[in-house]
Chain A
Amino acid sequence: MAKKKTLKQQDFQKKKLKVGKAKQGPSNLTDTSFVAKTILLPNQTKLSSAERSSGTRKSGQQELEQSVIKRLSLCKHHSAITRKETLVHFKQQVPKIAHSGCMTQIMHACYPMMCDDDRQVREALLEMIDEVGQYNCDVLRLNCRAFVLFLSSAMTHILSPVQRDCGKFLACGLKYFADELTRNSWIKLLRGMFGVLGWPLKAESPERNGNGNNGNRQPKKSVSMAISSASVVNMNSARAKHARAINIDALHLLIKCGCLELVMRDDPQPDEHSAAAHNKYLIPECPQPYEHLKIFAREIQDLDDINQSASSLQDLVSVSFQDASSRRKVVLHYFYDDIMSQVATLIADGGESGKSANSLKLLMDEVQVRESESEQQV
């Protein structure tokens, strides 16, 4: 009996406080300590608008740049609307910060959105690039390599809407820095556009690898479906048809810029300030004798390059073409037949894309004439 009492009492006994010892915790205390190498605290900072706080110690320009840089992380935001609004915000700020140092950061953050799933985001990005090009196209020229990388990534994207919008981006790029684009990534872009349009390239079929410079091409032996996902989708919707016309136009523009040596930019008075700042870092206008060495580019080296003759199209992807005549030769050798055969069917179909196809056909004829002229000169 006595024992039972003591057992019961134990629960209600008051713990005695002792001098020099920490207070004892209750029996139901839960240990919440843990060990971790790094602790990440997710938090959000409220962005204050730059205009309001201007006039303090920092100059207004610096404040502006700071606020823009703070917003860069929003480019990776999970919500499409936020991404779009960020881009719109950037576009509004571009006139003020076009010549500041943060532009490269902005462009690097924004280019990945070429592959964005959301159509509105892509449209906003296009508008923003256009805006940047209007105010300071040297920024675009500097980041040409990144532009091409993400553009080619978008061209081969598995979602066809992303692919379809590539023509717009390409056209936009050609508008501002056609020279860099055509010189450095001529074949890459041509192949990409072929992929977007869903046109099969005979030059890539395995049969051609052996006899690269054969004039009369053999028909493909393998039974390929010859209809890629992009082309199937293209045939179906009205929007896709419209996109196809735009893409053909972009291809037209690309070949025109590359082969006919037209200067697209119409900037009669180059900005003095920017020329002084950037010209020494830029590739000069004249053809580069050492460009093909690719000293400053990081790419996978093809170990088998030495063994093979560099005739197949695969090998030419990493080669840069500095002058228009070599670009012409490549186009005529590898792409001419495919273009002509595809264009013929499109013209027969008519419509919006038929018109674009017709103009492309005329361009190809002109290119051929130009090439034969230059050959006669030699």
Chain B
Amino acid sequence: MAKRSRASILPSNVILLQNLVKRDPESYREEFLQQYSHYGSLRDIFMLNAVENEANDASATAQFVELIGFVSQVCSCFPEETANFPNELKQLVLEHHKTLPFEVREKIITSLTMLRNKGILSPETLIQTMFPLLIAYSTQSNALASNSHARELRKLIYGTLVSLLKSCNTGSKNQKLNRSTQSLCFNLLEQPDAQGMWPARLTRELWRRGIWDDSRAVEIMTQASLHDDVKVACSGIMFFLGADREREENFEENSDDEDGFDMTALKHKMQVNKKSSKRGKKLDMALKTLKKKSNEKSNPGQNFLNFSAIHLLRDPQGFAEKLFAKHLSSKNSARFNLDQKIALLQLLSRLIGTHKLIVLGVYTFFLKYLTPKQRDVTKIMAAAAQASHELVPPETIFVMVRKIADEFVSDGVASEVAAAGLNTIREICSRAPLAMDETLLQDLTEYKGSKAKGVSMAAKSLISLYREVAPDMLKRKDRGKTAAMELQSAQRQGRDFERPQFGIENSVQGIAGIELLAKWKKENEEGNEAGEEADDNNWEVAENESEENDSDEGDWVVMEDDKEYDVDMGVSDDEKNPDSEERAQPKAMSSEEAFVELASNRILTPADFAKLQELRTEQGVARLMGNRNEETVDSDRLVGPVKHKNTKEERLQSVLEGREGREKFGSRKGRREAARSTTNREKERRKNYVMMIHKRSVKGKQKMSLRDRQKLLKAHTTKQKKRGH
């Protein structure tokens, strides 16, 4: 007891003292002051040695580290005495970071972080300390110094920065801090050395986590992409190409943790499998996740404005022009390797396609790379397709189309190459239909009779594209029934069939998605006569209510095991699969027609708009489930379906799979069903013939008439066969 009480008064080590001071700061003030001044003297010693470049011994270092931790833990209890402590630490690490031992530096950095968490140090000060350190440790001279542990320290500092910005931005965004940090990033990016890597990395990370989601962050990455240093530029480019996907994956991972829903597998199945009734369930699942996402959005804590980085650009035209001029068309382009150039081209084409920019130099630049022997040519072709849109003069794009047709689509090339070429041309022409010559088109459509499946499919898709856009450019037999009839009627009436022209825009008017609503109305007209009468009620539907209805649909339904349910598969399928009906009536209603039809008949109620929203969500689901995004071109799809020959292992594996759970084929000769000894009969049969030859039973057989012998032999053979011997 006495010992214990003495121990509680007399701390013999710093940890114990820390505990005591935290419990009762006033009583242990003297002890704290003593340790504080000890810290001061040790600090002076370290600074002296830092000047003289002398290594400190390990025990002094350990003591100093311990004391720094101690003081920073308890300094909130003595704010007046330790007012200068954070500044001292800051000064120490900023001025002597080269000479201090690694442990001390690490401890100072973590202590500063702790002081920030306790609110003693302002986040601005911490960032102003961390950034110079980060830069200092990534310079060559520091990193190469022996025992500097620069890599670990960089990691530590970077992690500190990220977590600091994260914690400052939870709840409400700390705009002041964000702005000051971003201006630091801008300053760093203005210097031409590789230090620009850090702002780029930081911004990417914070964007991925949804902490920075404004146009300033995007502007930082714009600067980074235009940076002189290759690494920095590539980091910026990859941000624009992959940032949104990364962010979505980040959030998807979170939702995956909750219910184990595998979106990618579903997507894959949608691509590969036939459409079946099972699909409805999967559709429901996808719908649920979509709803979950929208719920997350409506949460006040995490309202991310989910704009993609490309949409947040302040000056897309300027950015695209600078990107092209600085990195691709000038001499500097030699610095980038092919992969980086492809990434650059992808970004540039995405920009051009999304914002409908005009950078005319790109199309001739593509020509150089559009040859079948070029490595990764499908990616380049995809970029070429993305870069074309209807506002570009068709002549410029046509050069590219011509080149692809010459290089890729001829009899002398492999079928994959031809298919890729045709698919690329289709993609380009679906964006810019005028970039096509009548003769060239008719030449290309000849490939519909190709023996290779991919080639013929690609040619047919080209035909079906032009059937909609400009059927008169096709050969007569390719035009199809409806288009041919329209053309004929136009001729009969003596007017020209109108071809699309450059510069005449055909944009969507009215309400987006109204054709969906019109179709839905038409379907429900027969079944729902009372719909008109309930029209008045529809006006009172509030937006919230429709959301509630949505959530009601998604609730769990209890299905008991021993009950029987009447399930009308046909009806439910019809209700849940708008796609199947779409297939039933091949020609979808255009939005213009729908608008005319609906708007002339009736006034749209809020309920209608709610339904419209619902229908559009469904369509969104379809897009989510693997149907193509219009903006981007997937380079893997350009080649078309390729059937590879299986290797021997694969074939053997499939054979073995087929044999599973099956009896072995083949003769059962000499096999016994159950283990037993030989029967007398078997013994008799196997007995040596010479021993039997003189027996009466055998000799009698020789005296038999020919006919009897024949009979016997026949009976014998049939009997043997029946027994299975």
Contact = CB atoms under 8 A, between A and B. Distances in A.
Nearest to A305: B84
B113 to A, nearest CB: 20
Nearest to A191: B37
Contact of A298 (B11, B34, B47, B60): B47
B60 A112 contact: yes
B396 interface: no
B366 to A, nearest CB: 45
B252 to A, nearest CB: 39
Contacts of A225: 27-28, 30
Q: Is the interface of B mostly helix, strand, loop or mixed?
A: helix
Contact of A224 (B17, B27, B44, B57): B27
Nearest to B14: A158
Contacts of A226: 30
Interface in B7-63: 9-14, 17, 26-31, 33-35, 37-38, 40-45, 47-48, 50-52, 54, 57, 60
Contacts of A304: 83-84
Nearest to A156: B38
A310 B16 CA distance: 35
Interface in A306-339: none
Nearest to B33: A204
A112 B51 contact: no
A149 B45 contact: yes
A209 interface: yes
A82 B91 CA distance: 38
A150 B51 CA distance: 16
B75 to A, nearest CB: 14
A150 B13 contact: no
B30 A200 contact: yes
B342 interface: no
Contacts of A204: 33
B146 interface: yes
B60 A229 contact: no
B163 interface: no
Contacts of B13: 158
Interface in A124-167: 145-146, 149-150, 152-153, 155-159
Contacts of A224: 26-27, 29-30
A149 B44 contact: yes
B11 A195 contact: no
Contacts of A159: 12
Contact of B10 (A153, A232, A299, A300): A232
A121 to B, nearest CB: 13
B38 A300 contact: no
Contacts of B139: none
B27 A228 contact: no
Interface residues of B, number: 42
A204 B33 CA distance: 10
Given A195-B37, A228-B31, A222 B57 contact: no
A195 B36 CA distance: 12
B10 A229 contact: yes
A153 B38 contact: yes
A145 B26 contact: no
A195 B92 contact: no
Interface residues of A, number: 38
A228 B30 contact: yes
A298 B53 CA distance: 13
B47 A302 contact: no
Contacts of A146: 45, 48
B12 to A, nearest CB: 7
A133 to B, nearest CB: 21
Contacts of B87: 300, 303
Q: Is the interface of A mostly helix, strand, loop or mixed?
A: helix
A216 interface: no
A303 B80 contact: no
Contacts of A223: 26-27
B88 interface: yes
A55 interface: no
Interface in A18-46: 38
Nearest to B85: A300
Contacts of A152: 37, 40-41, 44
Interface string B77-97: 000110110011001100000
A301 interface: yes
A157 B17 CA distance: 13
Given A300-B43, A300-B88, A156 B9 contact: no
A229 B12 CA distance: 9
Interface string A282-304: 00000000000000001111111
Contacts of B81: 206
A108 interface: yes
Contacts of B9: 229, 232
Interface in B321-380: none
A23 B40 CA distance: 64
A93 B45 CA distance: 27
A233 B27 CA distance: 18
A229 B31 contact: yes
A158 B21 CA distance: 15
A217 interface: no
A162 to B, nearest CB: 11
Contacts of B80: 206, 209
A146 B29 CA distance: 28
Interface in A201-228: 204, 206, 209, 222-226, 228
A242 interface: no
A363 B54 CA distance: 42
A300 B48 CA distance: 11
Most B CB contacts (10 A, CB to CB) among A149, A195, A204, A233 go to: A149
A236 B30 CA distance: 20
B461 to A, nearest CB: 55
A38 B144 CA distance: 12
A203 to B, nearest CB: 12
A333 B323 CA distance: 72
A278 interface: no
A298 B92 CA distance: 11
A76 interface: yes
Nearest to B45: A149
A177 B88 CA distance: 31
A204 B44 CA distance: 21
Contacts of B17: 158
Nearest to B89: A300
A132 B698 CA distance: 133
Nearest to A117: B59
A238 B354 CA distance: 89
A228 B44 contact: no
Contact of B57 (A112, A195, A200, A233): A112
Nearest to A37: B146
A149 to B, nearest CB: 5
Contacts of A299: 44, 47
Contacts of B51: 298
Most B CB contacts (10 A, CB to CB) among A206, A209, A229 go to: A229
Contacts of A38: 146-147
A108 B41 CA distance: 16
A302 B84 contact: yes
Nearest to A116: B59
B48 A145 contact: yes
A349 B31 CA distance: 25
Contacts of B29: 222, 224
B687 to A, nearest CB: 31
A156 B47 contact: no
B99 to A, nearest CB: 11
9 contacts: A152-B37, A153-B41, A158-B12, A223-B26, A224-B27, A228-B34, A299-B44, A300-B87, A303-B84
Given A150-B41, A153-B42, 17 more contacts: A145-B48, A153-B41, A156-B34, A156-B38, A156-B41, A157-B38, A158-B12, A158-B13, A195-B34, A200-B30, A206-B81, A224-B30, A228-B31, A298-B47, A298-B51, A300-B84, A301-B91
CB-CB nearest 7 A-B residue pairs: A156-B38, A153-B41, A152-B41, A228-B30, A156-B37, A76-B57, A300-B88
